[in-house]
Structure 1
Amino acid sequence: MYPIQPVQKRYAWGSHSRLQSMFHLPTGAVPDSDGVASETLAEMWFSAHPQSPSFVEMDDGSYQKLTQVIQKDPLAMVGEKNSQIFGPVLPYLFKVISARIPLSLQVHPLDFEARAGFNRENAAGVPLHAPDRSFKDTLAKNEMVVALEPFTASVGFAPISTQLQILRVVDHPVAQRMVSALLARTFRPGLPPEEFSAADRMMPVSSLAWPDSRRRVFRAFYTAITAEPTDRDNITPALLDADRRLGSRKVHASIVNALQAAQAFPGDPSVLCLLMMNAVCLEEGESVYIPAGTPHAYIQGTAAEIMTNSDNVLRAGMTPKHKDIASLLHSLNCQPSSPIDPSSSMIATLAMQNMVTYRPHITEYMLVYGHVEADSTAWPLMGKIAHRYGDLVQRLGPRRLLMPQSGPRILLCTEGSIVVRSCNHQVILQQGEAVFIPSAEGQVDIVSTQQTEQHSFHMSDHGSFLLASTPV
C-alpha cells in the first residue's frame, strides 16, 4: 500500500473551506497549477490521468507519478485481468468535489466522438493544455456521483410535458421560443419547420433515425445555448414569477436550479436549459450515474465522483471557459429519461450494516462508501437508506459483500480515522489521507483504530471511508 497525494484543482466554482477542511489544507489565496492565486478549491483528484497524475510515496521514501508506477509493473499494480482489458493504466479517475456555485452546462463525448475529436485537435496542432481544447484524451466519460452531504444537480431531460409546463409560464423571449421548438413537429423527414432549420443542420447523422420527440428536444436545447447573452439579468425575475405562478413542488427544484445558475451567470440564456432537465437532490449516500452524452450541470454541494479515466468536457454555457457547441450537440442524448441510481437495483445485496456499494453496469469502476465503529454500532446513514427503499433491505436482511480482493484500489478516509490491514501491511489513515492499494496486495480489511492493539490516544474510535476500485 502506497500513500497517494491528490492533485488540487482550483476552479472558480469551488469551495472556500469545505475541501480545505476535509484535507486539512490552508484557506485563503493559494497558487493553482498555472501560478494564479485562488481562494477556491474545487476538486481533489486521485488520478493516473496522463495530464494530471497523482504522486505516490514508494517504500524507499521517494515520490513517483502513479502513471509511471503502473507502467513499470502493470500486473502487480492493476492485475492481469485489468491489464488485458485496459492496458497498463488505471481505468478510472476518482475525485472529491465541492461546488459553491453551479458548474458549466456540459456533456461528455461518446467514445467515437472522443477519438475523432482528439485526433482532429492533434492534427490541428492544438496543445493538450490549451484553454480552447475540448478533447484531452480518446475516451468517453461515464461518471457517477455519491453525495457526501446534500448535493443538487440537473441531469438528463425531463418528460416533454414537464418541460412545457415550466417553460410556458416563463415570461422570457428565449423560453417562449423553446416552447415553440418543443411544439413544432416534423411532418416529413428532411423538412424541418423553417424557423428551426439552423438547429436541424447541427444534428448528428444518427438523428435520421430519431423519433420526432427527440428532434423537438434538440431544437429547444439548441435555441437556449445559441441565444445571445444580454448585459442585464432579465431571466431571474421571469424565473421567480414562474415559480410563484406554478406553486408546484414537482417543478420547484428545477426552477431553483435555474435561479441559482442565473444568479451566478447573469444574462446567460443557457440557464433556461435547466428547466428542461431533471432536478436531482441527493442526500448523503445517494447517488446518480451519468452516461456519456447525458446533459448535466452540478449546482451545489460536496460529493465523491468517479468516472472513466477521461478529462473530456464539452461545455454549452454557464461558464467563462471554452464552449464547443458543435461537438457537444453531436454527442447529446435527447431522449427524456429518469436519472439513473446505480445503487437502487441491487440495494438488498449491496447494503450491509455499515457499507453501501455503488456499481453501475460498466467494467471500469465501482465505489464503496463505508463506516467503522469500535463498538460495531449501526451507521445512521443505513437507516436513511432503509427508509428510502422501504422494507426491502430489512426483509431480505444484510448479505455478505466481499470487499474487492484484487485490482487497483484507492482508499480515502473521509472522517475520523481507520486502519487498513492486509497480509503484509497495516496502515492508519486519518481524515483526508489516502492510499493506493495494488492488485497484488490482495484482500484488505478496514477497521476502526480502537479495534487494533496499537493505537494512539488521539485516534478516533470511528471513521468513514471511500474505496474506489474496478468491479469485483
Structure 2
Amino acid sequence: MIVTLSNAPRDYAWGSSTLIADLEGRAPSGRPEAETWFGDHPASPALVGAPGSPTLDAWLTARGERPLPYLLKLLAAAAPLSIQVHPSKAEAEAGFAAEEASGLARDDAARNYRDDNHKPEILVALSARFDALAGLRPVAASRALVEALGVPALADRLAGDDDADVLADVLAWVLGEGDEVTAAVGAALQSPDAAARAAFAAEPTASLEALTRVAAMNPGDPGVVVALLMNHVSLGTGEAVYLPAGILHAYLSGLGVELMAASDNVLRGGLTPKHIDVAELLRIVDTRPSAPPLLAPVVSGAVRRYAPAIPDFALTRVSLEGGAVEVPISGPAIVLATAGTPSVAGGEAATSIALVPGGAVFLTADESVVRLSGVGEAFVAEPGGNAG
C-alpha cells in the first residue's frame, strides 16, 4: 500500500525562513522553518493524508505494524545548531534505565536519555553549500590555529603525548571553567590578524569564515572554543556526512535531507542555552581525532545509495529525466520529493502518486519495490537491511 504523508515545518530558532519555502515553491511563512519530519516519531508524527487525518504512528498501530526504525527530515539551517553527540545503543540503554530508575521526568530539561535507542544519522546536502562541524582535528593542527589566533592559555592546554586525552581534558576545562579563554577566542575570531588568516588559509575548507560566523552568533558560548577544535566540513549538493555514535558534530547552515535512527537522545557540547551534562558528554564522546566522516554513495546510473553498515536505515537518491527507475526496498519506506514532479508507485503499480518538492509518500512493509517515473528528484528512506 502507498499513502501520502504531510507535516508542518518545526519553527526552531536556528531554522531558515526561506530554504524550505523556496524548495516547495511557496511564499515564506515569516517564521523560522527548521525541520519537516516525515516519520512516526511521537514528537512530530507525519499525517497520513491531509490535515485532520490520522498521524502515522496511530495509523501503523491500528494496522498492527511496528514503529519505524528511522526518521526522515528536511533540515534547513540559517544559524548553527548545538554541538552534540549521540550515544551507542548500549550507552543509550544503560543511560535511559538509570534515569528512569532515578525518577527524573522524561521532559525534564536535565534529562539526557529520553529513550533507549542510539541515534546515528546521515545528512545529504540539497543546497550548493552545506556547512557543518564533524569530528575533532588532530591536536597539532588545532594548536597551530590557536597560536596563530594569539590565545596562549588555550595553546598551552593543547599539549601532551596522547591526542585523545588532551582533547578530553580541554573539553572538560572549556565547558567547565573556560569563560576567559572563550572570550579571548571569540575576540580573536572577530578580528583575525594576518597570521591567523594565513594559518586558516592552509585549512582544506573555509573554516575561518565559518568559525567567525559561529562566534558572532554565539558570543560568550564555550561552544565557540569547542568548534575551533573540530573539523569544518563544506558539502556540495549530493555530498553526505555520516555521524555514528560518539562523533561530536554541529550543522551550521544550508538545506539537506537528514535520516537518523528513531531516537531523541542528545548530549550537548556548546552553542546552546540548553542543559550541558559535561561529565556524561565526556563519557560518551570519542575524543580521538579523525578525518571528516564523509559518506560516499554507491552510484548506479540515476541512483545514488547512501548506506552505512547499520540496520536502522539506508537512503537512496534518485534523479529522473523522463524515464522510470525501480528501487528495491527492504521494509517500510518513505519517498520524499526534492525537485520536479516525480511519480511514485509500489510494486504492483496499481496506484501512482505524483509529488511536488517537499511532498512525501509512505509504502507499507509488504511492498518490495518503489517505482519512480517522470522528471525530478526523490529520496527513498528504508531500513538498512537491503544491500542494494
TM-score by length of structure 2 reads: 0.89
* Aligned counterparts, 1:359-398, within 5 A: 359-374=307-322
Q: Does 1:64 find its partner at 2:49?
A: no
CA displacement 1:36-80 (0-9 Å, x = unmatched): xxx21111111222333222139xx97222223333445xx5xxx
Q: Does 1:464 find its partner at 2:388?
A: no
Does the 8 A contact of 2:326 with 2:371 survive in 1?
A: no
Does the 8 A contact of 2:269 with 2:278 survive in 1?
A: yes
The verdict on how the C-alpha distance between 1:320 and 1:247 changes in structure 2, with shifts beyond 3 A counting, is closer
Look up the match of 2:157.
181
* Aligned counterparts, 1:196-235, within 5 A: 212-229=162-179, 234-235=184-185
Q: Does 1:46 find its partner at 2:38?
A: yes
The 3-state SS of whatever aligns with 2:158 is helix
Look up the match of 1:14.
15
The 3-state SS of whatever aligns with 1:361 is coil
Look up the match of 1:145.
123
Inter-partner Cα distance in structure 2 for 1:369 and 1:98: 18
Look up the match of 1:167.
146
Does the 8 A contact of 1:406 with 1:440 survive in 2?
A: no
Look up the match of 1:286.
239
The verdict on how the C-alpha distance between 1:25 and 1:120 changes in structure 2, with shifts beyond 3 A counting, is farther
Inter-partner Cα distance in structure 2 for 1:318 and 1:148: 24
The 3-state SS of whatever aligns with 1:8 is coil
Inter-partner Cα distance in structure 2 for 1:20 and 1:140: 31
The verdict on how the C-alpha distance between 1:442 and 1:338 changes in structure 2, with shifts beyond 3 A counting, is same
The verdict on how the C-alpha distance between 1:247 and 1:89 changes in structure 2, with shifts beyond 3 A counting, is closer
The verdict on how the C-alpha distance between 1:56 and 1:164 changes in structure 2, with shifts beyond 3 A counting, is same
CA shift at 1:414, angstroms? 0.9
CA displacement 1:163-219 (0-9 Å, x = unmatched): 2211222223xxx3333333145xxxxxxxxxxxxxxxxxxxxxxxxxx33111211
The verdict on how the C-alpha distance between 1:292 and 1:139 changes in structure 2, with shifts beyond 3 A counting, is same
The 3-state SS of whatever aligns with 1:317 is coil
Inter-partner Cα distance in structure 1 for 2:264 and 2:8: 14
Q: Which of 346, 352, 374 does residue 300 from structure 2 map onto?
A: 352
Q: Does 1:436 find its partner at 2:371?
A: no
Partner amino acid, structure 2, of 1:147: A
Partner amino acid, structure 1, of 2:381: A
Q: Which of 410, 422, 426 does residue 352 from structure 2 map onto?
A: 426
Does the 8 A contact of 2:157 with 2:170 survive in 1?
A: yes
Partner amino acid, structure 2, of 1:221: L
Inter-partner Cα distance in structure 2 for 1:62 and 1:10: 20
CA shift at 1:375, angstroms? 6.9
Inter-partner Cα distance in structure 2 for 1:247 and 1:329: 28
Q: Does 1:126 find its partner at 2:122?
A: no
Q: How many equivalent pairs are there?
A: 378
CA shift at 1:433, angstroms? 1.0
CA displacement 1:316-348 (0-9 Å, x = unmatched): 2111222222221110101111123322xxx5x
Does the 8 A contact of 1:258 with 1:272 survive in 2?
A: no
Q: Which runs of 5+ in 2 are unaligned?
A: none
The verdict on how the C-alpha distance between 1:96 and 1:254 changes in structure 2, with shifts beyond 3 A counting, is same
Does the 8 A contact of 2:326 with 2:372 survive in 1?
A: no
The verdict on how the C-alpha distance between 1:445 and 1:252 changes in structure 2, with shifts beyond 3 A counting, is closer
Look up the match of 1:136.
114
Inter-partner Cα distance in structure 1 for 2:68 and 2:362: 11
Does the 8 A contact of 2:135 with 2:293 survive in 1?
A: no
Partner amino acid, structure 1, of 2:366: A
CA shift at 1:252, angstroms? 5.8
CA shift at 1:7, angstroms? 4.9
CA shift at 1:94, angstroms? 0.8
Does the 8 A contact of 1:254 with 1:277 survive in 2?
A: no
Partner amino acid, structure 2, of 1:47: G
The verdict on how the C-alpha distance between 1:302 and 1:158 changes in structure 2, with shifts beyond 3 A counting, is same
Look up the match of 1:192.
none
Q: Which of 222, 227, 238 does residue 269 from structure 1 map onto?
A: 222
Rg comparison, structure with higher value:
1
Does the 8 A contact of 2:3 with 2:49 survive in 1?
A: yes
Q: Does 1:342 find its partner at 2:321?
A: no
CA shift at 1:98, angstroms? 0.9
Does the 8 A contact of 1:154 with 1:254 survive in 2?
A: no
Q: Which runs of 5+ in 1 are unaligned?
A: 30-38, 78-87, 186-211, 377-400, 449-461
CA displacement 1:80-120 (0-9 Å, x = unmatched): xxxxxxxx220111111011011111111222332233233
Q: Could you say which structure has the higher helix fraction?
A: 1
CA shift at 1:370, angstroms? 1.6
CA shift at 1:281, angstroms? 0.8
Partner amino acid, structure 1, of 2:237: E
The verdict on how the C-alpha distance between 1:122 and 1:9 changes in structure 2, with shifts beyond 3 A counting, is farther
Partner amino acid, structure 1, of 2:294: D
Inter-partner Cα distance in structure 1 for 2:187 and 2:204: 17
Does the 8 A contact of 1:177 with 1:223 survive in 2?
A: no
What percent identity do the matched residue pairs reach?
Answer: 32
Does the 8 A contact of 2:226 with 2:270 survive in 1?
A: no
